[in-house]
């Protein structure tokens, strides 16, 4: 167990905290591997419904640990990318709870999550060009899909950040909080965790994977994701609970 990442299960939600506040939670290879291991736990544990990824000490993640980079270390976990999350995703949802700064790889890590909760005053940016680098963890590709292309271009080639308030207005941030982002993230996670787990997994899969599906292929490509949902015990339980005006008792099967 790495001390650079803290992991705690709370009410069906796995809270994963980057724990390098003295370094503004700059990402190391050790931390990336620990995040990847936490996501494996998320998918393997039937009692866990989603995860929250956050940072200790009032900062989400300031990007790559440049001291490690100068020593030849890259903060990736195998083929899972920066922070163990930028080139793959677990089957269950992950919410980023962002305070302070999400910069460079830190912003790419936040965008790799399925939803973002941010506290007011937080800054998002990909300032790699200011250090003679480029946002190679997906920032230059994902950002123009989530924000207006001209704004994404501005952020990529000036390195200047945007505020959480503007990110929220443009739809990059789901929830903007007055206090710590973890509070809003827990509320959002509870809303997710209260739903049918198979349905949540299928819905995440379709929303993420359908980005580039051709219109004529949608039904055929979507069917494998949702077929098992409609024949599951949970589907019957959801319908019965609605008819009986009670809370569903999900079994995940």
Mean pLDDT, residues 109-121 taken together:
97
Mean pLDDT, residues 144-163 taken together:
95
Looking at residue 245, its pLDDT comes to 83
Rounded Cα distance, 200 and 111, in Å? 19
Mean pLDDT, residues 38-66 taken together:
95
Average pLDDT, whole number, for the chain?
A: 92
- Concerning whether 128 is annotated as a catalytic residue, the answer is yes
Rounded Cα distance, 58 and 67, in Å? 21
* Cα-only R_g, the chain: 19
pLDDT at 69 over 80: no
Residue labelled with tokens 């990402």 = 27
Looking at residue 252, its pLDDT comes to 79
Q: Which one is catalytic: 108, 183, 233, 244?
A: 108
Q: Where on the phi/psi map is residue 11: left (φ > 0), alpha (ψ -120 to 50), or beta? A: left
Looking at residue 52, its pLDDT comes to 98
- Output 119 or 246, whichever has higher pLDDT: 119
- Output 214 or 174, whichever has higher pLDDT: 174
**Whole-model pTM?**
0.94
Give per-residue pLDDT as tens, 6-49: 999 999 999 999 999 999 999 999 999 999 999 999 999 999 99
Rounded Cα distance, 218 and 212, in Å? 10
- Concerning whether 169 is annotated as a catalytic residue, the answer is no
Q: Which one is catalytic: 3, 128, 187, 244?
A: 128
């Amino acid at each position: 167990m790495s001390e650079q990442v803290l992991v705690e299960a709370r009410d069906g939600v796995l809270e994963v905290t980057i724990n390098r506040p003295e370094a503004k939670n700059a990402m190391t290879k050790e931390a990336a591997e620990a995040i990847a291991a936490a996501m494996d736990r998320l998918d393997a544990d039937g009692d866990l419904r989603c995860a929250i990824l956050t940072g200790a000490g009032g900062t989400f993640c300031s990007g790559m640990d440049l001291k490690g980079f100068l020593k030849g270390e890259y903060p990736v976990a195998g083929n899972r990318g920066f922070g163990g999350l930028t080139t793959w995703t677990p089957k269950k949802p992950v919410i980023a709870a962002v305070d302070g700064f999400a910069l460079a790889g830190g912003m790419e890590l936040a965008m790799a999550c399925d939803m973002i909760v941010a506290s007011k005053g937080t800054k998002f940016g990909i300032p790699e060009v200011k250090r003679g680098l480029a946002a190679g963890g997906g920032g230059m590709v994902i950002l123009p899909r989530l924000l207006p292309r001209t704004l994404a271009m501005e952020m990529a080639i000036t390195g200047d950040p945007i505020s959480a308030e503007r990110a929220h207005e443009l739809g990059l941030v789901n929830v903007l909080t007055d206090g710590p982002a973890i509070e809003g993230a827990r509320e959002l996670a509870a809303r997710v965790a209260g739903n049918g787990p198979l349905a949540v997994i299928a819905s995440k899969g379709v929303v993420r994977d359908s980005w580039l599906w051709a219109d004529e292929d949608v039904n055929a490509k979507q069917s494998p994701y949702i077929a098992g949902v409609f024949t599951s015990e949970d589907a019957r339980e959801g319908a019965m609970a609605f008819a009986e005006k009670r809370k569903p008792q999900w079994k995940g099967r």
